[in-house]
């Protein structure tokens, strides 16, 4: 009886080893057949493209501004148009140029998604009847944003990456608590 059990155990062990060996062989063969091409970090590929996400954010802000009536009484559409220009300029840059920008596209995205979006959202909740003071204040902030975005666009066009990086950080500090 013990010899019969030993034989069955040995047979089960042999079958298990054969199955594991077969699985190992198949996995090894699959890994060999899947050859990966080396990545050339110096190669100029398509630009890093998060511009579509920024386009969507700008579109949503524009829609919100129009639906809430903010666009009809303020200069927010001028700022939105300038944001579209800046985003297009970033989109047209090569990878190496975008790397020189460091965090600037992210800072621009934050400016659009957080600050501009918040300005429009907060302003849309203010009753506009007989509230010329708030409209003037909001347009003042939009004018400052427009001036900063004009400078960013100029820096992109002249490839002044250092000034662009400094300006975007300045904007983050300057506009973080404006409205």
How confident is the model over 70-108, as pLDDT tens digits? Answer: 888 888 999 999 999 988 988 888 777 777 766 667 777
Count up the domains in the chain and report the number: 1
Residue 169 lies in a domain: yes
In a domain? residue 42: no
CB neighbour list of residue 166: distance below 8 Å, 6 or more residues apart: none
117-139 pLDDT tens trace = 888 888 888 887 778 888 898 99
Residue 8 domain-assigned (yes or no): no
Determine, yes or no, domain membership for 64: yes
Q: Is residue 76 part of a domain?
A: yes
**What does the pLDDT look like over 10-48, one tens digit per residue?**
787 777 878 777 777 776 776 666 555 454 545 444 545
Whether 6 is in a domain gets the answer no
Contacts of 47 (CB under 8 A, 6+ apart): 91, 92, 93, 94, 95, 98
What global pTM score does this model have? 0.61
For residue 107, give its domain range: 51-174
Tell me what pLDDT residue 16 has.
Answer: 82
Contacts of 117 (CB under 8 A, 6+ apart): 57, 60, 61, 64
Task: Report if residue 39 sits inside a domain.
Answer: no
Is 19 part of a structural domain of the chain? no
């Amino acid at each position: 009886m013990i010899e019969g059990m030993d034989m069955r155990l040995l047979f089960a062990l042999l079958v298990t080893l054969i199955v594991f060996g077969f699985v190992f062989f198949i996995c090894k063969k699959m890994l060999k057949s899947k050859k990966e091409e080396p990545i050339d970090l110096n190669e100029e590929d398509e630009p890093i493209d998060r511009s579509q996400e920024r386009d969507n954010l700008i579109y949503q802000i524009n829609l919100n501004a129009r639906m809430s009536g903010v666009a009809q009484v303020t200069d927010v559409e001028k700022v939105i148009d300038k944001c579209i220009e800046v985003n297009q300029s970033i989109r047209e840059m090569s990878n190496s140029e975008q790397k020189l920008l460091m965090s600037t596209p992210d800072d621009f995205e934050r400016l659009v998604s957080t600050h501009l979006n918040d300005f429009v959202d907060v302003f849309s909740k203010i009753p506009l009847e007989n509230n010329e003071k708030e409209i003037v204040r909001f347009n003042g902030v939009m004018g400052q944003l427009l001036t900063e975005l004009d400078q960013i666009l100029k820096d992109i066009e002249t490839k002044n990456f250092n000034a662009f990086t400094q300006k975007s950080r300045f904007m983050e500090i300057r506009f973080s608590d404006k409205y």
